Structure 1
Amino acid sequence: MPCTLRRTQRRALTFTRSLATAVKTTLSSSLFCDKNQTCSPFGHTSRHPTIPKHDIGRPRQLRRGHIPAFKYVHFIHRLPIELLAHIFVIGSEDDALSPITVSHVCHAWREIALRTPTLWRRIQLSPRLDMWTERIYRAGACTLDIQLLPWIPTRSFFPKHQHLDMHMVQWYIHFVAPLIRRWRSLEIVFADYSPFLWNASLSAFCSRSRRIQATSLESLTLVYRANDDTKEFCLFSGFAPRLRSVTLDGIRLAWLPSLFGNLTYLDYTHHGFTSGYDAVHDVIKILDVSSRLVELKILFPRKPLPAIPTRTQAVSRRVLLPSLITLHLRVEGIDIPFELAHLMTLILTPALTHLRFVDLERRQQPFYSLKSFFYVYAIPPSLRSLTVEHGWYDPPMVTPILRSLPSLRQLVVRRSHSPDHVLNLHSRSRKGRHQMGDVSGHMHLHVHPDRRAHATRRQR
């Protein structure tokens, strides 16, 4: 009996040693590399010099089953689908053909693009109406952004110019007119002159026989500087309750409260058919209706001859803009127009914090009537940021402006062939305000960092 027990123990010990050797060999071949391979942190191997093997006794190395090789996946495929779709939508705002490019990358991206209706909402009209018909279908029930521009989007970075005449414009507008209730924005820009362009593009919206209302319209842009049509257009039957942003240049519109009463942004360039007190009277009526503006940009361009006779009676009606925060006063000619100077004496802006004087022609010398303008226009004391550009800048006027604005925190001066000069006033007390000397000569110490490199290149 004892011999049998010893024989059984000897066999069990031999079997245990054999099993341990087999397990050790298996784990070494699956977990570690041979002499000519190097382990990767993701499980696969590569041909490199030998590295030390890990200790087989560590518990983290004892895994059951076969360890599959790790397949590398790009980090963009790990983003949530909602975030990836949002990135696609942002990219489509800069490039009308971006949705097509995105949908041709891979099968996963195509599924995401086809299931994102807002990605296809931008319709930039061109002769390929079959493509835009398919995009309207993919947009589903979401609102649309309609664009009629003087160029056609292409696969390259350079858009192709398209000539727009009356018949082509009317063809485009009748294509999208049935979807007017789904319009979120409308942008029409004409660069070249052609007769009856406004009639062809806006006749479908000004019909008196049927009621056409843009119930979803939020943004409107109408630009045609070479317009010679003096007719006053009444859009969308005078009803667009969601309209908040308007950009106008070269067109007369019937300014109704039901259409423009809720505006918060207005970029207005006067059509030029009226001048003098009549032009001021037109703008005053516009601002009286749109008294909720938060940002306002005004320009009175110079045209050869006004098409409508002007009156000689001065305008005395004042307008209060209690919510206006940002104001841009732009000049296009060689001097500040009389209409702009007279208009600024009739506007009350108690909450204005950002004021910018813009010179579109970048004059090197100050305007002739600059002192007269600041004599009639009192800058609001609530101003915190002031930008003076080119012809609006006169060095002797910097110190009086700073002394008259107790809340001013930043003054930016832009001149031709020179970097931006920025004067930051973070700590200003009432006592220090009266002791302030001439700071116009010290403004060269504050150079805007974004324009320093550009100015250096131009000087070279």
Structure 2
Amino acid sequence: MPPSPRRIEDIGRPRQLKRSRPQPFFDFYVRPHPLHRLPPEILALIFQAGAEDDTFFPITVTHVCRAWRYLALRTPTLWRRITLSPKERMWKERIKRARACSLDIELLPVKARSRRDAQHPDLDPYSIQWHMHMVLPYINRWRSLEVVFPEFAPYLWKVALSRCCHRAGAQAPLMEDLRLEYPANDDPEAFTLFSGAAPKLRSATLNGIRLIWLPSLYAGLTFLDYTHHGFTAGHQAVQDVINMLKVSSQLVEFRLTFPRKPVVCLPCRQEPVRTQVTLPKLKMLHLRVEGKDIPFELARIATLLITPSLHSLRLMDLGRSYNSFSSLKSFFYIYALPPSLSHVRIEHGWYDPRMVTPIAQSHARVRQIVVKRPHVPEQVINLRPLSRSRKSSHNGQPVPAVTRVPSHLPSNTWAKGTSVGPQQHHEHSLRIQRLNVQYF
């Protein structure tokens, strides 16, 4: 529609222009971004998830806008992660911002930024002692402790943990997760952590350290990743692990490794260990091998475990051997796979093509077998559940209709499915005394 013509008397009059409303300095309050419509509680949870992956994520959040900075500074759990490093002022400020929240303490080596610098410039006793001195006054607020030493240096455990052991009042009532790793440790001293009191400790990852296994510290563990320190071997090492499992009988997941280390300096036990340990809640068991063959200690401990609720078994080869272990036949001859198994994973040196079929035929509850070999894609064998026997319609006799057939077969591994009668199926539900591995 064309605009109306202006009259002659209006030509000399200036046209009234419509004034626009002045925009505020921050357009955030006029047209907020949809992200700012999230409730503060949801946004704080997103910040916490990002802080778990990146230590400096909370600092990045505070530089986005005023609203995010206001929320981040009033979320104590966002600042609980303390990674000890030479930046002392920053970590003290983070402890202050965490207020009364529990703390996650990390003592990890700082990697070099350039090739000219040392790979781990802070890996010396004096720096570690200074870092620990900063957080030791707050030991009653520690929720987790993670200490990792990838390279050798003398007296590292002593300077890092001495005041956590012998100091009066060094208890950790909020401690839930513990990770101590020093594979190159040569100090056989045994430590009693947190003055013997950590009632909430549930997870522990240990490698290269001797600890006095007290019930007040480790009775409530549900997860244990244990790599033997190497100061004992043979029957004495087996006895040490059995004593640990007697205390931590509530484990749900257990990972065990016996590395091949030349350090053996403590007296060894001569008599074989015959004491069995019952782990009624254990559901996942990882048996890991680092060398070229299955260690005697690992095989012996496996035979002494009673695991009525075990669902998943992982046989891991950290060395990724191309050939099967020479003692594989002996291991399965003495180790009875529990009948409650539903998932089995076999890797590298643990694998032999003639052992997969007996596992599926002898264990009715096995639903999946995963095979991992060098330079071969991972093979997943999904087994169909056993069908129940049906009654015949003409003579009233039960018909054996129990069939065990895999739904996904790797090449050159499986034969045809076999039919099992009702009586044989009842026998397979009992405890298997040995695995019938056929070696030709």
1:385 to 339, 343, 352: 343
Counterparts of 1:177 and 1:150, CA distance in 2: 19
TM-score relative to the length of structure 1: 0.77
Q: Deviations over 1:110-134 (max 9, x none)?
A: 1111111000000000000100000
Counterparts of 1:418 and 1:272, CA distance in 2: 33
Counterparts of 2:215 and 2:401, CA distance in 1: 47
2:53 to 88, 91, 94: 94
**CA offset at residue 429 of structure 1?**
3.1
**CA offset at residue 74 of structure 1?**
2.8
* Contact kept? 2:230, 2:262, Cα under 8 Å: no
2:100 to 132, 138, 141: 141
2:265 to 291, 294, 307: 307
Residue 124 of structure 1 aligns with which residue? 83
TM-score relative to the length of structure 2: 0.81
Q: Deviations over 1:80-107 (max 9, x none)?
A: 1111110110111111101001111111
Consecutive unaligned residues in structure 2, runs of 5 or more: 1-17, 19-28, 114-118, 389-399, 415-440
1:441 to 392, 395, 411: 411
Q: Deviations over 1:124-151 (max 9, x none)?
A: 0000010000000000100000000012
Aligned pair 1:403/2:373, yes or no?
no
Q: Is the partner of 2:166 in helix, strand or coil?
A: coil
**CA offset at residue 344 of structure 1?**
0.7
Counterparts of 1:339 and 1:321, CA distance in 2: 18
Counterparts of 1:237 and 1:432, CA distance in 2: 61
From the superposition, tell whether residues 153 and 178 of structure 1 become closer, same or farther in structure 2 (CA, over 3 Å): farther
* Contact kept? 2:383, 2:405, Cα under 8 Å: no
Residue 323 of structure 1 aligns with which residue? 281
**CA offset at residue 417 of structure 1?**
1.2
**CA offset at residue 161 of structure 1?**
4.4
* Contact kept? 1:264, 1:294, Cα under 8 Å: yes
From the superposition, tell whether residues 371 and 211 of structure 1 become closer, same or farther in structure 2 (CA, over 3 Å): same
Residue 124 of structure 2 aligns with which residue? 165
In terms of Rg, which structure is larger? Answer: 1
Instruction: Work out the percentage of aligned pairs sharing the same amino acid.
Output: 56
Residue 345 of structure 1 aligns with which residue? 303
* Contact kept? 2:320, 2:348, Cα under 8 Å: yes
> By percentage of residues, which structure has more helix?
1
Residue 205 of structure 2 aligns with which residue? 247
Count of matched residue positions in the alignment of Structure 1 and Structure 2: 372
Counterparts of 1:153 and 1:95, CA distance in 2: 18
Aligned 1:227-238 pairs, distance under 5 A: 227-238=185-196
**CA offset at residue 440 of structure 1?**
5.7
Aligned 1:352-391 pairs, distance under 5 A: 352-391=310-349
Q: Deviations over 1:394-450 (max 9, x none)?
A: 001110011111101111111111111111123323656666599663669xxxxxx
* Contact kept? 1:189, 1:222, Cα under 8 Å: yes
2:110 to 139, 146, 151: 151
Q: Deviations over 1:168-207 (max 9, x none)?
A: 1111111100100000000000011110000000110111
Counterpart residue identity of residue 441, structure 1: S
Which fold has the larger relative contact order, with Cα–Cα distance below 8 Å and residues 6 or more apart in sequence?
2
Counterparts of 1:75 and 1:443, CA distance in 2: 55
Runs of 4+ aligned structure 1 residues displaced above 4 Å come to 430-440
Q: Is the partner of 1:205 in helix, strand or coil?
A: helix
Counterpart residue identity of residue 391, structure 1: G
Counterparts of 2:144 and 2:368, CA distance in 1: 35
Q: Deviations over 1:365-403 (max 9, x none)?
A: 111111111111111110111111111110011100111
Residue 188 of structure 1 aligns with which residue? 147
Counterparts of 2:99 and 2:404, CA distance in 1: 65
Counterpart residue identity of residue 190, structure 1: F
**CA offset at residue 327 of structure 1?**
0.7
From the superposition, tell whether residues 305 and 205 of structure 1 become closer, same or farther in structure 2 (CA, over 3 Å): closer
Residue 76 of structure 1 aligns with which residue? 35
Counterparts of 1:412 and 1:88, CA distance in 2: 37
Q: Deviations over 1:240-297 (max 9, x none)?
A: 0000000000000000001100000000000000000000000000000000000000
**CA offset at residue 339 of structure 1?**
0.3
